[in-house]
Amino acid sequence: MTPRIPDAARARARMVERLREQGIRDEKVLAAMAMIPRHQFVEKGLAFSAYDDSALPIGLQQTISQPFVVARMIEILHERRELGRTLEIGAGCGYQAAVLSRVAKEVYAIERLKALLDRARENLRPLRLPNLRLKCADGTQGLPEAAPFDTIVVAAGGLAVPPGLKEQLAPEGRLLIPVGDAEQRLLLIERQGNIFRETWHDAVRFVPLLTGTE
């Protein structure tokens, strides 16, 4: 059952104002964050913490990213361009995929844990997002059957960038992934023909990027 909290719209508005104070400037991203009811994606007992700026457990040793990280990642990818055809790796509970669907033309979200993907489907069903597709798949392999993608965003951290993901970028495409071990940073990869330009961004902390499906 979807958790209910009083004044959820007001709580979202406060969250968006906090994001502005933290430096998020992209109005399209802020509007998307204001639209999606984050409390519907967390466990019922944590609904009252849904709009705090913190990551929360969603079971199976996974977390829902803090609102600032979600907004910041999409803002980096959206800067001076449209997201277009977008692949999200690590759908988790479905929250970031829902936000992405309000910014991108179409979104493919993959998750390696079938039980978690089933939960994401349940969370997303009430929103009826026609441009969002979900699939259980190994994120390190991307989604070659639907490639190329204008945008790829990875919501799990690895020591290196899986080479197949770079090859699934469209010309002028962008890939954003947390890279590192004890310390992770967001790595933006921009494709220009066969050249891949790298730019490092914010320090973050994500669950590991693992292979296979369960």
101 is catalytic: no
- Measured distance CA(22)–CA(162) in Å, rounded: 31
Tokens standing for residue 135: 């699939």
- Measured distance CA(153)–CA(150) in Å, rounded: 10
Reduced to 3 states (helix: H, G, I; strand: E, B; else coil), residue 44 is helix
Are 161 and 179 in contact, with CB atoms under 8 Å apart? Answer: yes
Q: Look up residue 205 and give its DSSP letter.
A: -
What angle separates helix 8-21 from helix 67-78, to the nearest 10 degrees? 60
Tokens standing for residue 140: 């390190």
- Measured distance CA(107)–CA(72) in Å, rounded: 18
Active-site residue, selected from the candidate residues 49, 54, 65, 101: 65
- Measured distance CA(158)–CA(145) in Å, rounded: 23
CB count in 10 Å sphere of residue 135: 13
Indicate which residues carry an active-site annotation.
65
